[in-house]
Each structure stands twice: as C-alpha cells, then as structure tokens.
A and B are shown apart, each in its own frame.
Chain A
Amino acid sequence: MGEMPSMPNLANDTISTTTEKTSTAIRVDSSGSKVRDSIASQLIAAARDQYPVQIWREHEWGADSVYGFVVDVSPRWVAVQCLADSVYFDGYQLLRVEDVIDVVDDRENGFIERGIASLGRPEVDFHLPDVANTAEVLRAATDHSELVGIDMEKRDQFFVGVVTTLGERKFDMHLIGADGAWLHDPGRWWYGDVTRVMFGDRYTHQLKRFGESRPGT
C-alpha cells in the first residue's frame, strides 16, 4: 500500500481566488464563455473532490486525451497526476486550459479505486505557481524534475531535455534523444508553441537513469 495522496492546492480559502483566476481565462476566450466556464468549473471540482477524469482537448492537431487526477488549476494551465493503463500512476502532465474541450467524470463502479487502493497513489508533490504563464510552468516543472518532456502538438514535435534558459518569449532546452544520447547544443523554441509539459513519468525517468551523462555537467 502506497502513501496516501496529499490534498490538492485548493483549500477552501483559495477556491474563490482560483475561480477569479478562471474568470480571467474565460474573458480571453472568444469561442463561448459558457463552455469555458463549464470546463473551468469541472476542472476545479475534479481537483477539489479528487476523482479521476478523462480530459479531452482539440482534435484537429491530434492531441491525446489525458486520464488522471487534477491536482491544480490556474487560469491558463491545469496539472494532472496521470494514470496509465487505467490504474498505474505515471507522473504529471500540464495542459493548457484553453485546449480542453471536455472533462469526463470517471467516478463509477469502484474499479479505479480498487486498483489505486491496492497499488498505492504517490503523494502529490507538484503544484502550479501562482502566476502560471508558460515560462513559470516550465520553471516549476524543471524545479520538480531535471528532465522535462515538452509537447508542441500543433507542430507534431515532442522533446525531452533540460530547460537551460527561460527568456521573455522563448526558452532554451538541451535535448536528449530516445537512445539516451544528448545533442551537442541547446535549441530555442517559442513559449506559444508549448501545448503540454510532462515530467516525473516512466519515460523521462528511464532516460535520466540510463541515458548518457549530460555534457558539461
């Protein structure tokens, strides 16, 4: 039996603050505030009551759905403690709230609960920063895990590596390949292209553990 999870960063005295932040997100949305309002409310409820959800995002650029527990919500980003193969915890994924099109409540017949009660749930040890713009999200992810996966799904690109510099509109990242070999120099990308951030999962963990030593460290 694993450790029980800590509660998400949504104590009663902060819910109103989070809701206000969410209202900010709704204002910048031009595709229908009622839909965004509903999605924000569902994400906040899932974080508060800690039930598993399936999060669906825009499909025209082939975004995966993400399954797990919402552990934190900010105006622009949501943090999910992911479940792989239904009942196995597999790190965190951070998604842009604006890309979410549906949040499906998966409290049902006790199957997931049975699995988690048996296998254990790792303590939640990641929360979004108060000002969760993309740069701060990347900083928080890097503070948690040295290796971070960055998805730019609209460009069909996924990188894993170490974020080395957080600039005003771009960030630098030193990449490691699927074979555990490091690229020679860091590359530079726009924050605006980042649609998903992943860390603490099996894939990045094995790269950290079995990959080559990072040059210059």
Chain B
Amino acid sequence: MTMSREAVAHQLAEAAHLQYPVRIRRDRDWWCEPVYGFVVSVSGRWVAVQRLVDSVYIDGYEVLRISDITDVDPDHQSDHVEKGLSSLGRPEVDFYLPAHADTPDVLEAAARHSVLVGIHLEMDGPTTMLVGVITELRKRKFDIQLIGPRGEWVVDSTSWWYGDVTRVVLGNRYTLQLERFGDARPTRTSLERSNG
C-alpha cells in the first residue's frame, strides 16, 4: 500500500524523533531496494538514514529522495536489533542534512563527510551506482571523478544531472574499502608528471 506524502513525512519525522528502526520502501516503476535503519535527519526533499545491514550492523548512511518513498514501516518489535546494537554498539551520528536540502546541498554535505561518495541513479537501472570524489557542483549538473570496483580511477571527471540522483551513500564498508585499498587518486598534474 502506498502512503500519502503527508503520512510519509509524518512517519519520517516521528522515526527521527523517537529513534526506532524503520524499513523504507520506494515501490516505483524502477527497481530499488528497501532501506532499513534509523532516520537521523529530514530536510527539504531528502531524508538521511543510518543504515542497518544484516539486521544489527550499522553501515554508514543512505540519503533518499522523499518523493520516491511509498512506505515507512516502523519496526517497534525490534528487541533483537536493540539487543544486537547494545552489544555491538551504535556509532555516534555524525552526518546531518543542511536546512532545506536540495540535491547540490546533499552532495556537498556528503562530500564534506566522506572522501568517497556513492551516487545511485536508480531510474537508469539497478546496477547504476557511481562512486568517486565530487569535484564540482554546478547549477544543474555535478562533476565526479570515478573509482571502479577494483580501486582503479578514471582520470577525468564526468558530468551528471542532479535530477537523476535518487540515493546517496556514504561512510559504508563498500566505499571505505575503496578509499583504503584503492589506487592513489590521479589528477591531471600527477598524470603529466608521471608521463614525464
């Protein structure tokens, strides 16, 4: 069942206030997975979630477009999750959305928090996720220098539309291992230097 926009906004605000885990669904024509975790910030057109994977392991943040959300399912019976978190610990929340956040604001906040940011363009297909360093925020597009799944950098930045961004990911295991074990980030200058 699809919730009204008002109901979605109400559930997100309550989940952020009371800090119980929720499962957020976005049942759109394009494929997108549900996100489970704690709502930590709601602002403008976006919501930030401290994500739980495999039920009890905190894994960074997911920032979702509120207009895509069709259901916010509170997990009030989360004794199991609470038991896990009280044992494993919950990292202090250190990411918040700026006031009245639009897409450039979200990307800027994400880039300030983490060197590598994951950007989903889910309307283009489930496998389309860009990971890299945001190098420029322009009026209608942003530039990102991409790193591949095996830690190899693309030398030049590429431009993408803000309107295609449906989800932003930061501070999770996947991006952290790329940052830690990936190649050193090349720049034009370093490339020219290595080419003599």
A206 in complex: contacting residue of B55, B149, B151, B172, CB < 8 Å? B55
A31 at the interface (CB under 8 A from B): no
Interface size of B as a range: 20 to 34
* Chain A proximity of B155: nearest CB distance (Å): 16
B2 at the interface (CB under 8 A from A): no
Q: How far is the CA of A1 from the CA of B152 in the complex (A)?
A: 24
B182 / chain A contacts, CB cutoff of 8 Å: 111
Q: Across the interface, name the chain A residue whose C-beta is closest to B59.
A: A85
B19 at the interface (CB under 8 A from A): no
* Chain A proximity of B59: nearest CB distance (Å): 9
Q: Across the interface, name the chain A residue whose C-beta is closest to B83.
A: A210
* Chain A proximity of B116: nearest CB distance (Å): 13
B54 at the interface (CB under 8 A from A): yes
B174 touches A85 (CB 8 A): yes
Q: Across the interface, name the chain B residue whose C-beta is closest to A111.
A: B151
- B residues whose Cβ falls under 8 Å from a Cβ of A: 54-57, 77-80, 83-84, 87, 149-152, 172-174, 177-178, 180-183
- A residues whose Cβ falls under 8 Å from a Cβ of B: 84-88, 108-109, 111-112, 114-115, 118, 178-181, 202-203, 206-207, 209-211
25 contacts between A and B (CB under 8 A): A84-B173, A85-B172, A85-B173, A85-B174, A86-B150, A86-B178, A88-B173, A88-B177, A108-B150, A109-B150, A109-B152, A109-B183, A111-B152, A111-B181, A114-B181, A115-B180, A115-B181, A118-B180, A179-B78, A202-B54, A202-B57, A203-B54, A203-B55, A209-B87, A210-B56
Closest 4 CB pairs between A and B? A180-B80, A111-B151, A115-B181, A203-B54
